[in-house]
Amino acid sequence: MAEYFERVLTDAATNVYEERYEVSSENFLGEAAPPWRMTKFRLHGGKQDGVDVVEMDNGELTVVLLPTRGMGILEAYTSELSLGWQSPVRQVVHPAHVDEETCGGLGWLEGFNEFICRCGPAYHGDPGPDMVPTNTGALHQVTLPLHGTIANTPAARVAVRVRPRPPYELSVVGEVYDTRMFGTCYRMESVVSTVPGSSEFAISDTIENLGGTPSELELLYHCNYGPPLLGEGAQVLAPVEYVCPRDQHTLEESGSWDTYGAPEAGYAERCYFLRLHGDENGKTVVALVTPDGSRAATIRYSVQQLPAFTMWKNTAAEADGYVTGLEPGTDYPNSRRFERERGRVVELPPGGTYETKLRLAVVSDPQKVAKLRDEVDSLVRDKPSEVAAALDPDYCPDA
């Protein structure tokens, strides 16, 4: 028996496609792993018609992946807690129903309801003008729409992978091709994996420039949390080196940047741009802690891979999406032109790759939450930590 069991569910290159598939610990009798199950199915009807879903249930935590939406993660949940949020967007929206260009480049918002969706890879952030090459090699100005293309690009290859003996592991592997003639050409290989019985999962992405010339890369992980984690008095824990409010009305609230208010109809989003401290290897952790301090969700990653952190505070009415985004990125979600001018846009050579790894977990025990506070404190101890007192032109287009 091979070390891994792998089953290809979609492969555009060979026209393999499984509409339904299920594999579980019952298929590996004799192994001592806790019970687990991976299920693949297709959604039908409404705006979700034709969307493929893979559920990875490790016995404790279930991660729901969306190959059709760029390997995004719709939600993750245990029997006690759900990670994700209630967006006004009610169905999983097939990319065919999303026109990024509508509403002045905000069309991406018509499909936005995942727990985690990637933004990028050629650009992310607010719509804004930028120069891009045409077929003739000349540059022309276009308005790049919000948050890029990858969340609306179906994966060309999807497989489930199982390591049925210690160290046990379940994975969903996806390949997304985001390519065009005379434009940026990226391949993302994403591996989302979890250990049976654990309350965490990991995202390991490798982005490759398939093109023959250097290419700009922007990548942001839009990790979105709503109730029950989010609530009045919920708090973000982060080893802050620097916090900068994005705009004037964010600045006015920046004294309480790390805590959340109750849902408030008409609340206009606040957005903070952060630099975080990491340990000697660059590893950092951020967390969202419930109002009563008893539970938390964490994101662990490397500030070397993802040096920019954005905190999106959108405590609007529940009907309008009461949510916060904790968003590690290569850079900040301003227009690409603004980020390029600050030297924050990655340039990948032909064949070059960029790797990211994030680990996301649920912490359900107050003592572990206390330890988490200690861990965050220790990352920032004896190091500079500043909240900007004014808009900083290195971060804020409005400054």
Return the residues of window 311-370 that contact a second copy according to CB under 8 A. Answer: 316-321, 350
Find the binder of a second copy among 211, 226, 325, 329 (CB under 8 A): 211
Region of 189 please: left (phi>0), alpha (psi -120 to 50) or beta.
Answer: beta
**Token digits of residue 191:** 């591996």
Nearest to 174 by CA among 305, 352, 306, 40: 40
Is there binding between residue 20 and a second copy (CB under 8 A)?
A: no
The residues pairing with 237 across neighbouring beta strands, listed in sequence order, are 287
Q: How many residues bind a second copy (CB under 8 A)?
A: 79
Find the binder of a second copy among 1, 30, 79, 137 (CB under 8 A): 137
Find the binder of a second copy among 5, 77, 86, 132 (CB under 8 A): 132
Is there binding between residue 156 and a second copy (CB under 8 A)?
A: yes
Give the range of 89-97, 278-286, 352-360, 381-389 binding a second copy by CB under 8 A.
89-97
Is there binding between residue 82 and a second copy (CB under 8 A)?
A: no
Give the range of 151-159, 233-241, 298-306, 357-365 binding a second copy by CB under 8 A.
151-159
Output the smallest distance, CB 95 to a second copy, in A.
7
320, burial (CB in 10 Å: exposed 0-12, middle 13-18, buried 19+): middle
Find the binder of a second copy among 100, 114, 200, 218 (CB under 8 A): 100
Q: Closest CB to a second copy among 56 and 271?
A: 271
* 3-state percent breakdown (helix, strand, coil) of the chain, nearest 5: 15, 40, 45
Is there binding between residue 254 and a second copy (CB under 8 A)?
A: no
Write down the residue that tokens 């049976």 correspond to: 196
Give the range of 21-29, 74-82, 94-102, 340-348 binding a second copy by CB under 8 A.
94-102
Q: Where are the alpha helices (DSSP H) in the chain?
A: 102-105, 248-251, 336-341, 366-380
Is there binding between residue 125 and a second copy (CB under 8 A)?
A: no
Return the residues of window 275-314 that contact a second copy according to CB under 8 A. Answer: none
Return the residues of window 40-59 that contact a second copy according to CB under 8 A. Answer: 41, 43-50, 52
Q: Closest CB to a second copy among 85 and 309?
A: 85
Output the smallest distance, CB 126 to a second copy, in A.
8
Q: What's the per-residue H, E or C state across 72-91? A: EEEEEECCCCEECCCCCCCC
Nearest to 190 by CA among 318, 79, 356: 356
